[in-house]
Amino acid sequence: MRISTRGRYALRVMIDLAEHSRENYIPLKDIVARQEISQKYLEGIMTDLSKAGMLDAQHGKGGGYKLGRGADQITVLDVLLTTEGDLAPISCLDASAEPCSRASECRTLPMWEKLYELIRNYLNGVTLADLMLTDSSGDNYVI
């Protein structure tokens, strides 16, 4: 399992929005400037996060984005499932995979299932609020 730039950028943007939540809607250009991410690339990510209910979007003057829920209610797993899809470490555990004909005799399947469970449980236990608690300062996150 490797998290793509899409997933990493989504986390950066969500942390940025959480940290600037005192403001009402935050224009995309402000996020782009702080995070140094292409606006065009970010637009697709924002659309997916909005459709998933993690962001509220407002168009027009005074528009932009803000978190759809509290930072303590959005997990890393939520963000990554939205932007990356399934996080299964092997293809046969992917939600859309056909059942494996060798599953009953596979000696490694229980290990992979446990790893998958650990990954999901860990990422589900980390919220945006947790990520905001780091000691680093500034608006340029490296994830």
What pTM does this model have? 0.86
Q: Which of 113, 80, 110 is nearest to 13 (CA)?
A: 80
Residue 56 burial by Cβ neighbours in a 10 Å radius (0-12, 13-18, 19+): middle
pLDDT digits (tens, 9 = 90+) for 115-130: 999 999 999 999 999 9
DSSP string, 17-49: HHHTTTSSSB-HHHHHHHHT--HHHHHHHHHHH
Answer yes or no: are the C-beta atoms of 49 and 57 closer than 8 Å.
Answer: no
If we measure between CA atoms, which residue out of 4, 14, 93 comes closest to residue 46?
14
CA distance linking residue 26 with residue 92, whole number of Å: 41
Question: For the chain, what is the total number of helices (H) and then of strands (E)?
Answer: 6, 2
Q: Please report the pLDDT score of residue 137 as a whole number.
A: 54
Q: 123 and 140 in contact (C-beta within 8 Å)?
A: no
Q: Which fold has domain 5-85+127-132?
A: Arc Repressor Mutant, subunit A (1.10.10)
Report the distance separating Cα 107 and Cα 102, nearest Å.
Answer: 10
What is the residue whose two structure tokens read 């340029």? 140
CB of 17 within 8 A of CB of 65?
yes
The domain segmentation of the chain, as residue ranges, is 5-85+127-132
pLDDT in tens, 75-118: 999 999 999 999 999 989 988 888 888 889 999 999 999 999 99
